[in-house]
Homo-oligomer: A and B are copies of this chain.
Amino acid sequence: MTPNNILRIALDGMGSDEYPFPELQGATQATTEFGCQILITGDRALLEPALSQLNNRNTGNLIRIVHAPDRVEMAASPAFSSRSKAHNTIACGIQLLRDGKVDAFVSAGNTGAILANGLFILGRLQNARRPALTVLLPIPTGSCVFLDVGANSDCKPEYLQQFAVMGTVYAQTVLGIRSPRVALLSNGEEQSKGNQLVKDAHAILIQNTELNFIGNIEAKEMLSGAAYVVVTDGFTGNVALKTTEATAGMVKEMLRHAMRSTLRATLGGSLAKTAIRSTLRPLDPNEHGGAPLLGLNGVVIVAHGRSNAHGIRSAIGAARKAIRQNMLPKMQARITKQLGTRENPNE
């Protein structure tokens, strides 16, 4: 942070599907609410008129545009984005973070490109094996830290242990849970269940006295809040996360269909609409403050590609909390301690 303690966030101005308005409006909300300064990376010719269109004179001096003409498309390969497009909005924002010009980077853009640029430009925390894409799932008592959901398709048991450490620190610092229960996602609760990776990770985690490890859990227990940190490999995590989203979307679509199927149902639906909408709100990814890339040497938050202004503001809010709570130095300390006591860092 700057000497006068104003938080500075770099925000990808051309990341979301509907860019740049979700970004500009989200940034405006965040500056008003959090009093932070936001550096928006993007094409000045696009962002400047859009920003003045929003007419935000009050917050104008807290939002600055940093010119980065190129956008990494959602379908672009990470390698392409990091090598060929040095002036893209993601690389530019992460460079600002590396150079200490900002305290965090937030983007609703291509996750693979954010990961690749993060690894290339920022690097990892010392002795962090792999960064993990981390989401907050809605559970009855709040949120569950679920990782890895896509950064590493093939994992070793030691990675999963480190994900448990990183997830614990995130739950402690950002969610404020003192000793979060940690579980492994599996196909059964018994220790004997799981594929080889889960069995091996279980054997390591059960010996780890620094973590509040409760064993294996299934999806049902995960969603009903049995643990605050749920660890898995990036392939299974990605499939599980997308299955959750797809199923929730399917049920909501069936519901919409039901509400149009008869006159009676249409009337009923119009009466219940407000209550249904507010009850199902926790399923909206815009509510969850984005997905941190844990393990990188900097606070990097990935917002959903379909983010609206509220989603961008939530992601900036998550970045702010991570910085205010010193998430990064605490995570580094725990990773170092973990390796000192349990593992050979050169392995």
Contact = CB atoms under 8 A, between A and B. Distances in A.
A45 interface: no
Interface string A275-295: 110111001000000000000
A220 interface: yes
A268 interface: yes
A262 B243 contact: no
A248 B154 CA distance: 28
B239 A239 contact: yes
A235 B187 contact: yes
B219 A242 contact: yes
Interface string A227-253: 000000111101110111111111110
A194 B153 contact: yes
Contacts of A279: 254-255, 257-258, 261
A246 B219 contact: yes
A276 to B, nearest CB: 5
Contacts of A174: none
Contact of A255 (B154, B243, B276): B276
Given A194-B153, A271-B265, A271-B268, A258 B278 contact: yes
A5 to B, nearest CB: 40
A246 B248 CA distance: 10
A189 B178 CA distance: 40
A272 B280 contact: no
A318 interface: no
Contacts of A245: 219-220
A259 interface: yes
Given A238-B187, A239-B236, A240-B239, A259 B247 contact: no
Given A234-B187, A243-B240, A272 B258 contact: yes
Contacts of A251: 247-248, 251-252, 280, 283
A215 interface: no
B238 A240 contact: no
A185 interface: yes
A15 to B, nearest CB: 18
Contact of A247 (B247, B267, B272): B247
B195 A219 contact: no
Contacts of A220: 242, 245-246, 249
A162 B305 CA distance: 37
A222 interface: yes
Interface of A: 77, 150, 153-154, 185-187, 192-196, 198, 218-220, 222-224, 233-236, 238-240, 242-252, 254-255, 257-259, 261-262, 264-265, 267-276, 278-280, 283
